[in-house]
Amino acid sequence: MSERPEWLDNAVFYEIYPQSFMDTDGDGIGNINGITQKLGYIKELGCTALWLNPCFCSPFMDAGYDVSDYCKVAPRYGTNDDLVRLFEEAHKLDMHVLLDLVPGHTSWEHPWFRESMKAERNEYTDRYVWTDSVWEEPTGYGSLRGISDRDGSCAVNFFTHQPALNYGFYKPERPWQQSMDSPGALSTREAIKDVMRFWLSRGCDGFRVDMAGSLVKNDEDGRGTIALWQDIRRFLDAEFPRAAMVSEWGEPDKSLLGGFHMDFLLHFGPSHYNDLFRCEAPYFGGHGDASAFVARYKESRERSGGKGLICIPSGNHDMDRLARHIKGDDRTLAFAFLLSVPGAPFIYYGDEIGMNYVEGLTSVEGGYGRTGSRSPMQWDDTANAGFSSAPADKLYIPIDPDADRPTVKAQLGDPHSLYSEVKRLISTRQAHKPLQSLGDIEFISDGKGCPLAYIRSLDGERILVFIDPTDGKNTMRFDGTPAEVLYHFGRDIEISDGCISSQGKTAVFVRL
């Protein structure tokens, strides 16, 4: 395995949905220069790295996850030079930038796909997964049919306008299913390496990889896809050994084996992530149960050899805003958890001020129910919350109409705001290695109707994290003697040798 980019060990990421962060040219849509302009804000919060959602040419039927040119910044966001300048300015602040790599599919407008649709064989014929007759569908994947002179149906990877790139089948079963080492599958792999090479050689620090587990088909246990990523890691080790790789896979035992440094905990599938933040009675709302999450988390950590690099995001562009289900001070308790677990935390833009999910919006660019989580950043109390000088009806997505919507400006000056607590939590994490990405975690209470508590440890240092979102009295025993309270939020607590008592609604980190 490669040289680790050591900055990951203490990274706190900030996810930016470029459309909605900051518009500096008044067209109603965010841009790269807007991100560069706000780097100081992100740095001041304490974040050390960015993840940008795709900012490349696209017909934007899935907000840019339908790429039509991997190597060109979409004109609405600026130019390749603007993006390179963002890398440079971030580096000057000792920050790092991950781009979003979408290797599983392209837009149906991508020139590769236009060529692949042709009846005559050409360089791109095998770039996508096609059957050999329009009457046969590639079962299990969905398909595009009746749109080309080519006789065949093309598998799709997500929406129907996103044809699946061909990395081969782990176990080919039909004549049209190519093996992983067929020339077509190998040339797709090389083409994606070229895309990575293009951006890494211009200063990008790595990638968040979209649907990383979806590449090889008929690959139930992920063996083919793991082998494919191992090959990509070998290429990175040879040419860009410091490239950081974070997967959207949700199975760290597989993704870390494939050479990813970190994997996201997903909000779908078996993770029980939603039990904590997004359900009728979320644990951090004060009335829920975290035990199924804890059991699953432990299992997943064990399966991945305790490497601990499972990233738990505050939210993202695909799910409800944290603030939709968790209100008031409970949000700080949720952040106390997010900022004290292993793996790098990811803060979704605006979550640090408690931005709300905007209800009732019409879908924008394939957002559907996700649109309400993608509204413009709320900077201040000027027009359009300081996001853009465009007329309000020209904004990409309307601003949250709530008269009491939170803003950066109001929260920066308030020592009791959510922003200030998130900042205090980040700086506590950054000052104590056991709280960072690589520290171990041992749960001593699983949050079954009671506080959640765990010991983070590294190189003999131990920190007790105790988070009590309940509204009642709780007492818990632990092994150790309290030496120093590193962080405390909420109601009073009492700590003595091996015993902590709370009145509910509190979070405390104690060095033992």
Binding mask 439-468 for ligand NOJ (x = CB under 6 A): ------------------------------
Say if residue 8 is exposed, middle or buried (CB neighbours under 10 Å; 0-12, 13-18, 19+). Answer: buried
- Of 164 and 486, nearer to ligand NOJ (C-beta) is 164
Helix (H) or strand (E) holding 57: strand 56-57
- Of 261 and 317, nearer to ligand NOJ (C-beta) is 317
SS3 239: helix
- Of 65 and 277, nearer to ligand NOJ (C-beta) is 65
Residue 315 C-beta: closest distance to ligand NOJ, Å: 12
Residue 404 C-beta: closest distance to ligand NOJ, Å: 29
- Of 251 and 329, nearer to ligand NOJ (C-beta) is 251
What are the CB-based long-range contacts (under 8 Å, 24+) for 326-330? Answer: 326/277, 326/282, 326/284, 326/285, 327/285, 329/489, 329/490, 329/505, 330/284, 330/285, 330/286, 330/469, 330/505
Does 13 participate in binding ligand NOJ (rule CB under 6 A)? no
- Of 229 and 454, nearer to ligand NOJ (C-beta) is 229
- Of 62 and 289, nearer to ligand NOJ (C-beta) is 62
- In the list 39, 45, 48, 62, the residue contacting ligand NOJ (rule: CB under 6 A) is 62
Say if residue 92 is exposed, middle or buried (CB neighbours under 10 Å; 0-12, 13-18, 19+). Answer: exposed
Residue 502 C-beta: closest distance to ligand NOJ, Å: 37
Does 15 participate in binding ligand NOJ (rule CB under 6 A)? no
Residue 375 C-beta: closest distance to ligand NOJ, Å: 16
Contact of 437 with 11, CB cutoff 8 Å: yes
Does 365 participate in binding ligand NOJ (rule CB under 6 A)? no
Residue 135 C-beta: closest distance to ligand NOJ, Å: 28
Which 246-275 positions form the footprint of ligand NOJ (CB under 6 A)? 248
Say if residue 460 is exposed, middle or buried (CB neighbours under 10 Å; 0-12, 13-18, 19+). Answer: exposed
Instruction: Say how many residues touch ligand NOJ, by CB under 6 A.
Output: 9
Does 211 participate in binding ligand NOJ (rule CB under 6 A)? yes
Identify each DSSP E strand in 387-483 by its residue range.
440-446, 452-458, 461-468, 474-477
Cβ of 84: how many Cβ atoms within 10 Å? 16
Contact of 36 with 45, CB cutoff 8 Å: no
Does 84 participate in binding ligand NOJ (rule CB under 6 A)? no
- Of 16 and 385, nearer to ligand NOJ (C-beta) is 16
Cβ of 133: how many Cβ atoms within 10 Å? 11
Binding mask 121-160 for ligand NOJ (x = CB under 6 A): -------------------------------------x--
476's tokens: 């818990």
Interatomic CA distance for residues 10 and 254, integer angstroms = 23
- Of 263 and 421, nearer to ligand NOJ (C-beta) is 263
Q: Which residues pair with 448 in a beta bridge?
A: 289
Residue 60 C-beta: closest distance to ligand NOJ, Å: 11
- In the list 205, 289, 318, 351, the residue contacting ligand NOJ (rule: CB under 6 A) is 318
Does 65 participate in binding ligand NOJ (rule CB under 6 A)? yes
Residue 414 one-letter amino acid: D
Does 17 participate in binding ligand NOJ (rule CB under 6 A)? no
Strands across the sheet containing 13-16: 310-311, 262-264, 244-247, 206-209, 96-101, 49-52, 13-16, 346-348
Which residue has its beta carbon closest to ligand NOJ? 65
Does 102 participate in binding ligand NOJ (rule CB under 6 A)? yes
Residue 42 one-letter amino acid: I
Does 210 participate in binding ligand NOJ (rule CB under 6 A)? yes
| Binding-site ranges for ligand NOJ (CB under 6 A) | 62, 65, 102, 158, 210-211, 248, 317-318
